[in-house]
Each structure stands twice: as structure tokens, then as C-alpha cells.
Structure 1
Amino acid sequence: MTTAQWSDDRVERLKRLWAEGLSASQIAAQLGGVSRNAVIGKVHRLNLPGRAKAGGSSSAARPAKRPTQTQRPATFQNRPAAATATRTVTRAAGATMLKEEIEVEAYEEVEVRRPLNVVVPISRRLALTELTERTCKWPIGDPMKDDFHFCGCEIADSAPYCTYHAKLAYQPVSERRKAAR
């Protein structure tokens, strides 16, 4: 596509559609006669800001923040947390993309447990050349600094890490999802 085909009217329409959160493919289909890559190239040449998410404006898509709890019991706590948010979603109706607002209610069960017996191993501070198949290969520190080393504790079976570092490295999927929130 040559630059002559980007009339002022088409550029303004491109800017409007981009701001509405349409994908490059959708914009190309609405403009007609241009490819998805041509739309992406024009967006970059115009230095348009990152477009809104397909779900609408970012402020409408964010669920309300949960209030923080100031005091927690020492053992553990179970409480359901509910948040209601209005979210704008797009859906296809034939060849037309429609935007509609839906109300989303999310429940999350939060469980906080204090570890009862955590034993942190004392690192043997081994260098890379000192590691064997029976030593923990958990890196400690910044590799660009002189004090960088590996744990070096004894390992069980053929695992790369000692028991403590294996618990840090291999977390069940449910715990990883909770930690990511």
C-alpha cells in the first residue's frame, strides 16, 4: 500500500477505531483495501498510544479493589471475598463486533497459613565448578557480583535442588495462581 491511499479521512477513522480498541485485523476490514500489516505500520508511524484493551476502557474493566485487612490471626483464616464489577466485553454478531456491559461477580477463598517448621539450610557457598550431581544447584545472589554462589547442600534422588529449594521452585498450580494475584 502506498502512502497516497492514506487520506486524511481514513487516517482519522483509523485513529478513532484504534482508540475504541479494535484489533488491526478488524480495522483493516472496516477500512477496506488495506491489510492488517498496513494498519499496524500506519499506527506505528503515527506514534499512536497503546490501544485500549478489547474489553473497553481499562478503568471500566478493573474490578473494585478489595479492602485490606489490618489484623490477621496467627494460625490461619478462611474468608470468602466477593467483588462485583461491570465489564465491557465485545462479542461477534455475524460480521459485526458488538460491545456490551456485563456484571461480573468473582469469589475467591483466601487462606493464610503461617509455616510451622521452616528450616532454611545453611549454604555451602559453592562455585559453579564445585557443583556435583549430589549438590543443590540453587543460585544465590547476583551472577555479576563476586559473592555469587550456589547452595551446595546435599540433594535427594536426582533432583537439582535440596528439599528447601525444591519447595520454592516447584509450587502446586493453585498456590502459583494465588501468588500471582
Structure 2
Amino acid sequence: MDWSAEAIEQLRALWAEGHSTAEIGRRMGISKNAVVGKAHRLHLPARPSPIQREQAAAASAAPRPVAPAASTAPAVPAPAPRPVAQAPAPVESVARPAAPVLRAAPPPPVVRPFQRSNARSCCWPIGEPGTPEFRFCTSEAFAGKPYCLEHASIAYVKARDRREDAA
């Protein structure tokens, strides 16, 4: 958009009136982002955040305490506060140890037994974890792998050469 002198003046006027950037854009027939960009380049004063505006409006709508009106009557001094009578302390005060602060014990960790019979058994999970049916395959693991031959063939898939797809 080419900003004419009239458009800039209209932007400045609408900005000074406190209209939102979206409203200014609608009135001028341009996008909100165009308004924001030009306002930034013109160094127009920043707008307060809509959140801050809502908080300020709520604070101004809240009733404020009214200060008492100044009267022409002479000020009467306030009476001095009377001392509060206290009961005498018992002669024999027993010092009690401070009660220990009890903190809630952290919940015990959830430990589920790993159902592998030995380090050479397959650890392929079967079923949904957390259900009673959940278990691990206990077949003998393939040499150097954590899974049996069947599950290793699922877990370790050779990456295809992309050149094969191109042909």
C-alpha cells in the first residue's frame, strides 16, 4: 500500500482516538497488519495490552473507599488506648519439646516385575501396559539382541534404498 499524506493523518487521528488496529484497518479499508506496521514506522505510542486494559477497566469499575470530607469542626483527639489486662503466667511452666513436623510420605514407586526369566530371554512387550494381560515374550533372545528371532525381524527392518523407488 502506498501511504498518502491524508491516509497517514487519518491513521494518526484514529490512533489518537484509541481505536483498535483492527477497527482502524476496517475504517481505512486496509489490513490490521498494515496499520500495525505503519504505526510502528511512524513511532506512534504503543497500545496497552488488551489484557492490561481489561484489568485496568475492572480496577476502575471497583468501588473505591471514599475519603471522609474535611469538616470545619475542631479535631477531637482520639482517646489513648487502654492497656489490655493479661492473665498471670503459671508459676510452673513445663517446657514441651516442639512437635515434629509430619510430612506426607511420598507414594511408593510403582514396581512391576520384569518377567524375563534371564538376560537371554526376549523382552518384546505383549499386550497393553498396566493391564493384567501385559507380559513379555520369554523366548530365547537372538545373539546380541534383546529380542527373539521373530521379534527382531519386526524391530530391525533394513532401510530401503531410495534409488529403488525412483526406478
Q: Could you tell me the TM-score, scaled by structure 2's length?
A: 0.32
Q: Could you tell me the TM-score, scaled by structure 1's length?
A: 0.30
Higher relative CO (Cα under 8 Å, sequence separation at least 6) belongs to 1
More strand by share: 1
Larger Rg: 2
